Amino acid sequence: MRLAAVLALAGAAAAVFAAAALPVRAAPDGATLYAKCAACHTKTGAGVPGAFPPLGPDVRTKATTEAGRRYLALVVTRGVSGPIKVGGKPYAGVMPAQGTLDDASVAAVLNHVGTEIVKTGPEFKPFTEAEIAAHRATGTALSAQDVGKLHAAAGGQ
Ligand code: HEC
């Protein structure tokens, strides 16, 4: 019995060491990643009139439809260039693709925007890494201008 207990403990300890040796991938932090977006869209998401659209209730409205969710994923992965209207105001600038963000990071930053930056609008359903991967795969041939053309069908104002 005693030996069995010792062996069991040794086994458990080995399992702990084995688990610790696995490469652990920390979940990306949406709040930290949002600093990239804040450079243009501002810290609060208010944006800059005529230049950088606000990240407001429009984002949550878009996130209620499949076309809108694809649009949001592609805006980040491919960039977007208008003319588009956000919150009723026209924008015709260029957002560069945020190419350094992997799928989990895109999901994390969009979820930060949908919950912490935007506090009003329809209920926000979080993005998963798998959902971003699927949308990214459908958009590999799209330019920022092409993504802009998806805006009309993406909902919002
Ligand atoms: C270099 C400036 C810049 C950065 C950095 C940037 N954006 Fe943008 N973003 C823009 C511009 C400009 C537009 C509008 C494009 C246009 O005028 O056609 C835009 C549009 C958008 C839209 C579409 C809004 C709508 O309702 O259609 C979303 C969503 C968005 N950005 C999210 C983000 C997120 C999330 C990040 C960070 C990962 C980010 N942006 C980083 C400049 C930027």
13 Cα to the center of ligand 1, angstroms = 49
Q: What pLDDT digit, counting tens, does each position of 12-43 carry?
A: 555 555 555 566 778 899 999 999 999 999 99
Q: What pLDDT digit, counting tens, does each position of 80-96 carry?
A: 999 999 988 999 999 99
Considering only the top CATH level, what class is 27-154? mainly alpha
Ligand 1 binding pocket, CB closer than 6 Å: 36-37, 39-41, 52-53, 55, 58-59, 72, 75-76, 80-82, 84, 86, 91-96, 98, 109, 113, 148, 151, 156
Q: Can you give the three-state secondary structure of the chain, one letter per residue? A: CHHHHHHHHHHHHHHHHHHHHCCCCCCCCHHHHHHHHHHHHCCCCCCECCCECCCCHHHHHHCCCHHHHHHHHHHHHHCEECCEEECCEEECCEECCCCCCCHHHHHHHHHHHHHHHCCCCCCCCCCCHHHHHHHHHHCCCCCHHHHHHCHHHHCCC
- Closest Cα to atom 33, ligand 1: which residue? 37
